[in-house]
Amino acid sequence: MAKHTLIAYVEDVPGVLNRIASLFRRRNFNIDSLTVGRAEQPGVSRLTVVVEATEAGARLVEANLYKLVNVLRVDDLTRKPALMRELGLVKVTVTPDTRTQVLQLVDVFRARVVDVDDQALVIEVTGTPEKIGKFELVLRPYGIVEMVRTGVVAMARGHEPLSSNPPLVRAEVAGHKAEDHAHDTGVSMSV
């Protein structure tokens, strides 16, 4: 078992998140995090999902995502050079004694203080999920009042774009044409 980071482009239509959430629940896939946001194309959302799975399990997740009619493209970034980013907000209690120590840690982690009052700081931190995890760990002794993490978003490195065009279609789909198959990389998902 390992963490797999999958990117999915989905049509931005009502209910699509529900379909994805339902799929993961129904197939008993173990989601670590799931984030959605707009992508470069209008009408298309981009989903990053981290699942705990074996290699074969990850292929099943991918194949099942593809089965959803509104899913345009799926890509597994696990074995590719990729950037993983997450944002966290941490509210931590401070006293006159601990305030400077906390500020030093903020510095070390290249985080930012975004709100201050006499008893607490709110800190914004971005980075890999590991980094945010570490940050949480070092702040915990000071007293974390509240904390929220967005879940990871990911993008492959390099200039090659990952477009929402499907990677593995024949051009002809009975009755109507599939738009484009520029990234015809073969049946990556089939086995």
Q: Which is nearer to another protein, 148 or 173 (CB)?
A: 173
Cα distances (Å, whole numbers) of residue 54 to 29, 61, 130, 160, 166: 11, 10, 20, 27, 24
Instruction: Give the Cα separation of 25 and 151 in Å (integer).
Output: 18
Q: Does 178 bind another protein (CB under 8 A)?
A: yes
Residue 73 Cβ vs another protein, minimum distance, rounded to whole Å: 8
Residue 101 Cβ vs another protein, minimum distance, rounded to whole Å: 39
Q: Does 19 bind another protein (CB under 8 A)?
A: yes
Structure tokens at 94: 């401070």
Q: Which stretch binds another protein (CB under 8 A): 60-68, 80-88, 99-107, 116-124?
A: 60-68
Judged by CB under 8 A, how many residues of this single chain contact another protein?
37
| Of the residues 3, 35, 52, 66, which one makes contact with another protein according to CB under 8 A | 66
Instruction: Write the single-letter amino acid at 188.
Output: S
Buried b (16+ CB within 10 A) or exposed e, 71-87: bbbbbbbbeeebebbbe
Instruction: Give the Cα separation of 100 and 3 in Å (integer).
Output: 36
Q: Which stretch binds another protein (CB under 8 A): 114-122, 125-133, 143-151, 169-177?
A: 169-177
Q: Does 107 bind another protein (CB under 8 A)?
A: no
Pairing of strands 30-38, 44-53: antiparallel
Contact residues toward another protein (CB under 8 A) are: 10-11, 14-15, 18-19, 22-23, 26, 56, 59-60, 63-64, 66-73, 166, 168-170, 173-176, 178-179, 186-187, 189-191
